[in-house]
Structure 1
Amino acid sequence: MYAIVEIAGHQYKVEKDQQVFVNRLDAEEGKKVKFDRVLLVDKGGDVTVGAPAIDGMAVHAVVERHLKGDKVLVFKKKRRKGYQKLNGFRASLTEIKITDIKKAAAKKAAPKKDAEAAPAKEAAAKKPAAKKPAAKKPAAKKPAAKKPAAKKPAAKKAAPKKTEE
């Protein structure tokens, strides 16, 4: 049995008792975590696909440890310019161990707040809004007719050059 689950924005194919390295999670070592965004479950050939996630399915895991990944070197260069830049990067990872893939416990419906909503409606009914006489708006002025743009005067012709003879 395996499942495809979305953890911290990435999708992983997981099985029971499998150890997975994922992006850093905000959970202490030894704590249990639950992932409800299960996209696909395969139970021995019986495949269930969610749209986009399967309602009621969850993957349970235990946080084993937090660590840093292998160093990735980023090298930048512009040829013939003498520009070289070397940066290193180590991703923060969390190692988790998948403990179970099963249906999540049914969520209890939140208690309805009808009791609080009813007194609020009564209070609103007691205070009728005071009506103010509507102020009359002055008549809108008609926009002035647009005049065509003034034409530029014709350029003056230069007098012919006088040549010495």
Structure 2
Amino acid sequence: MYAIVEMAGQQFKVAKDQKVYVHRLQAEEGKKVVFDNVLLLADGSNVTVGAPAIDGAAVEAKVVKHLRGDKVIVFKKKRRKGYRKKNGHRQSLTEIVIESIVAKGAKKTAKKEEPKKAAAKPKAEKAAPKKAAKADDLKKIEGIGPKIAETLVAAGISTFAELAKTDAAKIAEIIADVRGNHVTDTWPAQAKLAAEGKWDELKKWQDELDGGKA
């Protein structure tokens, strides 16, 4: 009597007391294993073919030992490219011996029940972070160039409203390292008009300014 059975991802033709080398199994040495994906059974002239597996059939085996197969050399080369690569590989195997072939009523190996994980406590919903105010184009203020605008944003002043609330002296202190002579006296007032959307009034005033100076 023999059977064709799938073991560790491979198909084998096995008979009682036969030794078989399969891909490494997780079972310990000396333990019994049962393979229930039997594809074909043959007992003399009686042949049973599964569709795809035979219900109730199984192959029982015992783990003899774990070992590694012979080294296989893998050599790759590309012509006229100077490419050469050589690797060695030894497959991890398990030696098993077939103890019996069960045609019907095979007991499937009981899967170890994984310890139930404690129900995860629902995480307290984090308060949605406040959306940062959308940055304004501070360069629309007469006297503010790209470098100054970048410096102000780095200091936490990114909107017209924030600039309007900042004292001119404080602004001058923030941009002290920016090269050039900058007069910040009108910037808060300009920013206030911009924040309020009074663009016509701001444009008219800026036409009278020179680099931010009145």
TM-score (norm: length of structure 2): 0.48
- Residue 77 of structure 1 and its aligned partner are, at CA, apart by 1.0
More helix by percentage: 2
Letter in 2 for 1:32: K
Please give the secondary structure, in 2, of the residue aligned with 1:77.
Answer: strand
Alignment of 1:70 onto 2:81: no
Letter in 2 for 1:92: S
- Residue 80 of structure 1 and its aligned partner are, at CA, apart by 2.2
Output aligned runs, 1:81-96, within 5 Å: 81-96=81-96
More strand by percentage: 1
Q: Partner residue of 2:25?
A: 25
Partner Cα separation in structure 1 for residue 53 and residue 78 of structure 2: 46
Please give the secondary structure, in 2, of the residue aligned with 1:52.
Answer: coil
Partner Cα separation in structure 2 for residue 24 and residue 50 of structure 1: 26
Q: Partner residue of 2:8?
A: 8
Q: Partner residue of 1:137?
A: none
Partner Cα separation in structure 2 for residue 40 and residue 33 of structure 1: 19
Deviations 1:95-149 (A, max 9, x none): 1000000133468xxxxxxxxxxxxxxxxxxxxxxxxxxxxxxxxxxxxxxxxxx
Please give the secondary structure, in 2, of the residue aligned with 1:29.
Answer: coil
Q: Partner residue of 1:41?
A: 41
Q: Tell me the matched-pair count.
A: 107
Letter in 1 for 2:105: A
Partner Cα separation in structure 2 for residue 90 and residue 106 of structure 1: 34
Letter in 1 for 2:77: K
**Identity rate, percent:** 70
Q: Partner residue of 2:105?
A: 104
Q: Cα gap change, 1:22/1:76 in structure 2, threshold over 3 Å: closer, same or farther?
A: same
Q: Partner residue of 1:145?
A: none
Q: Is the 8 A contact 2:39 2:52 kept in 1?
A: yes
Partner Cα separation in structure 1 for residue 95 and residue 63 of structure 2: 6
- CA RMSD of the aligned region, Å? 1.3
Q: Cα gap change, 1:16/1:23 in structure 2, threshold over 3 Å: closer, same or farther?
A: same
Q: Is there any run of 5+ residues in structure 1 with no aligned partner, and where?
A: 108-165
Larger Rg: 2
Q: Is the 8 A contact 2:58 2:106 kept in 1?
A: no
Q: Cα gap change, 1:27/1:106 in structure 2, threshold over 3 Å: closer, same or farther?
A: closer
